[in-house]
Amino acid sequence: MKLSQRIESMQQSPIRKLVPIAEAAKKKGKKVYHLNIGQPDIPTPDTFFDAVKNFDEKVLAYTFSEGIPQLIDSFINYYKKYDIHFDKDEILITNGGSEALLFSLVAICEHGDEILIPEPFYTNYNGFGNLAGVKVVPVTTKAEEGFHLPKKEDILKLITPKTKAIVLSNPGNPTGVVYSKEEVYMLKDIAKENNLFILADEVYREFVYDGFEYISFGHLKDIADRVVIIDSISKRYSACGARIGSIASKNKELISQILKLCQSRLCVATIEQIGAAALINVPENYFTEVVEEYKKRRDIVYNSLNEIDGVICEKPNGAFYVIAKLPVENAEDFVVWLLRDFDVDNETIMMAPAEGFYATEGLGRDEVRISYVLNEHDLAKSMNIIKEGLKVYNNKK
Amino acid sequence: MKLSQRIESMQQSPIRKLVPIAEAAKKKGKKVYHLNIGQPDIPTPDTFFDAVKNFDEKVLAYTFSEGIPQLIDSFINYYKKYDIHFDKDEILITNGGSEALLFSLVAICEHGDEILIPEPFYTNYNGFGNLAGVKVVPVTTKAEEGFHLPKKEDILKLITPKTKAIVLSNPGNPTGVVYSKEEVYMLKDIAKENNLFILADEVYREFVYDGFEYISFGHLKDIADRVVIIDSISKRYSACGARIGSIASKNKELISQILKLCQSRLCVATIEQIGAAALINVPENYFTEVVEEYKKRRDIVYNSLNEIDGVICEKPNGAFYVIAKLPVENAEDFVVWLLRDFDVDNETIMMAPAEGFYATEGLGRDEVRISYVLNEHDLAKSMNIIKEGLKVYNNKK
């Protein structure tokens, strides 16, 4: 039976496709440090689990397609702390940030329309673009420039009559870049002048280091009608498995149209919504501690990488990822080699080859994405494994 | 800001769109019996909640994109009881039957391809068709014939080179029809001769009455490569809010391709998966009792409807819905009138106007779907409200 071209041409996740090789390494008794996936090791706040345990309805019934009221309120109150203001009819609860992005794309774009995305980008944007039948047009950014945006004129060149939106994550996955005020305002001007929506994936909003001034697209009042905030509790509260996300926009018509898509899948898992709603009660110092911890980890990774000859890595200001350019021709080959043929005291690491985060053919072939989601001790060991690995790998040729 | 044509042309759910009118009636102090939505009142088995309460991981982490192993095993064991046999790599866990159908459509159809669906059909099939960019071609069935399928030659006429699959629910939502052995075999022959997939939504598999012989599409070994079983725990275990569904097929290549879509949304809510996995331990007599209860309800609804002058309703053998043709010109007007202007002892009912379940313009305008998800006492009262309501409604003109 023939399957569709659109599914066959879909790429496998660069984050997950090498998992079988890692599993084989583990079977041989090697310890593998997972720097390939953005799965934090930070405990999920007990508040979540307590609320789940207190659920005592007799029937686990469908709930509102837009989300349960207490969870929508919880998002409203969360945003207030960032001086971002949404009403009840401006927020929809979704199955993670994933569904939020998919639904937004479908509501904004016809099949065959285009969206601009700074590359390297979160690889699943490709999957959602594919599902929505929307063409991803990459805005290339470079490791040497810390993945900051190119000049306005270079972005304008990519806009066609089919371009409907700019999609971005800020702070950035997989780059860790946090856009400066100038960059955010440049995107605002581009959106305004060219009648584009901005789909801002801000799931790493908390993870900004070094006192860098973070500007949410939710702060730009004069383009509020064209800004859609894609969000999720996954990273913020280390609750990836809850699959709770949201769409927020001051464009009420957009929200009411997307509600039809929400109705078609009925509702989001009820018990996880109840857990998520309780998270608004997590004390503020939770974030302070978590962010401090990630900053320490970022420093270990960044400093260690910069001590290795030939590695290029600008200091990222946010999220918990860094993309490093390695002194190898093909980073995927190196990642596979580390898993199969290398170890330091029977330990090795897994990273995500970065080529899959680019839409432009050939870019990122010598780059890897490293998630600093492990403790400092394991990260230090992991960085040493890269250093020693590169020595052996480059000498053996 | 202009939104997409595809979202604007999407219809509102006929099940949910009159909710504001019902809410207004309730605000005026009227009691409203909800026969519009398939939300059972049967308690969810404690097994589910116990498993949820026993969850004791510290981090609510991403889990496998294909579903947690114990839940896949649970589905495998469940199917065995029906003499349907799947391996681990032939099942994927999804966000309800909804996502299962969407992903299957994307994997099988290109944008612009066609699928055949017996109408009236579950209205959200339209939503998923829209999301997947697939055209729904209705195979019309009639109230007078108990919504059984037309002759083979009438179905063959609808097939074009773009037709990729037949989608159906069996037992049927919204009709309650259970297809006979002859009908199932006819569809099998059509699929075989025309190289079509069959996407069989069998979420009401348990709900078959009167000793009617139920044949799952999972039983048809000679077309196993083209059968996809769409499933869900929602109705079977009265766990609609869990949003746990599945895709199962002996076509391993199809499953491995759909896994890429599953990876793009990472995973299904973890805690609800754990609850769902435990349901395999629910004793068999749970179903016996539940099915006996629904049969009683079906009898009340069917018998009462047939005592009303001018109502046409053939006895449905499955699910918990019935579509009735009423002696009114426009059933939606009647439903609205019942909510706004009629009551018996300050009580009224809400039904789903059936027009929205048809793709063919103009069909179903005098029909309603009734979900018999309330207890016998409330159902008897509800049927009396229809009877009395029709008398007043038809005299007032």
Domain with residue A186: its CATH number is: 3.40.640.10
Tens digit of pLDDT for each residue in A219-253?
999 999 999 999 999 999 999 999 999 999 999 99
- Does one domain contain both A157 and A169? yes
How many angstroms separate the CA atoms of B90 and B72, rounded?
A: 9
Q: Please report the pLDDT score of residue A12 as a whole number.
A: 79
Q: Please report the pLDDT score of residue A397 as a whole number.
A: 63
Q: Please report the pLDDT score of residue A308 as a whole number.
A: 96
- Does one domain contain both A123 and A154? yes
Q: Please report the pLDDT score of residue B397 as a whole number.
A: 63
Pick from B214, B217, B204, B203: which is nearest to B251 by CA?
A: B217
Q: Is B108 on the interface with A (CB under 8 A)?
A: yes
Residues of B in contact with A230 (CB under 8 A): none
Angle between helices B285-306 and B376-395 (to 10 degrees): 20
- Does one domain contain both B246 and B183? yes
Q: Is B131 on the interface with A (CB under 8 A)?
A: yes
| Mean pLDDT, rounded, for A275-303 | 95
SS3 assignment, position A328: coil
Range of the domain at B114: 46-281
How many angstroms separate the CA atoms of A167 and A126, rounded?
A: 11
Q: How many domains does the structure of chain B reveal? A: 2
Residue A329 structure tokens: 């021709």
Please, what is the average pLDDT of chain A? 95
Instruction: Examine the fold and report which residue of B225, B260, B281 is the final residue of a domain before the chain moves on.
Output: B281
Residues of B in contact with A272 (CB under 8 A): 269-272
Residues of B in contact with A106 (CB under 8 A): 4, 6-7, 131
Residue A368 pLDDT > 90: yes
- Does one domain contain both B85 and B180? yes
Inter-chain touch B7–A258, beta carbons under 8 Å: yes
- Does one domain contain both B248 and B328? no
Inter-chain touch B243–A268, beta carbons under 8 Å: yes
- Does one domain contain both A76 and A103? yes
- Does one domain contain both B167 and B83? yes
Inter-chain touch B3–A131, beta carbons under 8 Å: no
Inter-chain touch B127–A261, beta carbons under 8 Å: yes
Instruction: Examine the fold and report which residue of A281, A316, A345 is the final residue of a domain before the chain moves on.
Output: A281
- Does one domain contain both A315 and A275? no
Q: Is A13 on the interface with B (CB under 8 A)?
A: yes
- Does one domain contain both A223 and A348? no
Q: Is B125 on the interface with A (CB under 8 A)?
A: no
Task: Using alpha carbons, list the distances in angstroms from residue B32 to B40, B47, B232, B269, B376.
Answer: 16, 32, 28, 33, 16
Q: Is B298 on the interface with A (CB under 8 A)?
A: no
> Of A5, A107, A226, which is closest to B4 when you measure between CB atoms?
A107
Q: pLDDT tens digits for chain B (397 residues)?
A: 999 999 998 888 777 778 889 999 999 999 999 999 888 889 999 999 999 999 999 999 999 999 999 999 999 999 999 999 999 999 999 999 999 999 999 999 999 999 999 999 998 898 889 889 999 999 999 999 999 999 999 999 999 999 999 999 999 999 999 999 999 999 999 999 999 999 999 999 999 999 999 999 999 999 999 999 999 999 999 999 999 999 999 999 999 999 999 999 999 999 999 999 999 999 989 999 999 999 999 999 999 999 999 999 999 999 999 999 999 999 999 999 999 999 999 999 999 999 999 999 999 999 999 999 999 999 999 999 999 999 999 997 6
Q: Is B156 on the interface with A (CB under 8 A)?
A: no
- Does one domain contain both A204 and A296? no
The β-bridge relationship of strands B135-140 and A321-325 is unpaired
Q: Please report the pLDDT score of residue A105 as a whole number.
A: 97
Domain with residue A24: its CATH number is: 3.90.1150.10
User: How many CB atoms lie under 10 A from the CB of residue A125?
Assistant: 26
* HEC assignment per residue over chain B: CCCCHHHHCCCCCCCCCCHHHHHHHHHCCCEEEECCCCCCCCCCCHHHHHHHHCCCCCCCCCCCCCCCHHHHHHHHHHHHCCCCCCCHHHEEEEEHHHHHHHHHHHHHCCCCCEEEEEECCCCHHHHHHHHHCCEEEEEECCHHHCCCCCCHHHHHCCCCCCEEEEEEECCCCCCCCCCCHHHHHHHHHHHHHCCCEEEEECCCCCCECCCCCCCCHHHCHHHHHHEEEEEECCCCCCCHHHCEEEEECCCHHHHHHHHHHHHHCCCCCHHHHHHHHHHHHCCCHHHHHHHHHHHHHHHHHHHHHHCCCCCECCCCCECCEEEEECCCCCHHHHHHHHHHHCCECCEEEECEEHHHHCCCCCCCCCEEEEECCCCHHHHHHHHHHHHHHHHHHHHCC
Inter-chain touch A127–B39, beta carbons under 8 Å: no
Q: Is B52 on the interface with A (CB under 8 A)?
A: yes
> Of B41, B55, B106, which is closest to A131 when you measure between CB atoms?
B106
- Say if CB A323 and CB A369 are below 8 A apart: yes
Give residue for tokens 């939106």. Answer: A165
Q: What is the ipTM of this complex?
A: 0.94
Residue A389 pLDDT > 70: yes
Q: Please report the pLDDT score of residue B224 as a whole number.
A: 97
Residue A328 pLDDT > 90: yes
SS3 assignment, position A313: coil
- Does one domain contain both A239 and A138? yes
Interface of B with A in 219-278 (CB under 8 A): 225-226, 238-243, 251, 253-254, 257-258, 260-261, 263-272, 275
Give residue for tokens 């083209």. Answer: B226
Tens digit of pLDDT for each residue in A44-58?
999 999 999 999 999
With bands split at pLDDT 50, 70 and 90, how would you rate the model's confidence at A11? confident
Residues of B in contact with A51 (CB under 8 A): none
- Say if CB B265 and CB A96 are below 8 A apart: yes
How many angstroms separate the CA atoms of B304 and B347, rounded?
A: 18
- Does one domain contain both B29 and B168? no
Residue B169 structure tokens: 């629910």
Instruction: Examine the fold and report which residue of B281, B299, B328 is the final residue of a domain before the chain moves on.
Output: B281
Q: Please report the pLDDT score of residue B17 as a whole number.
A: 78
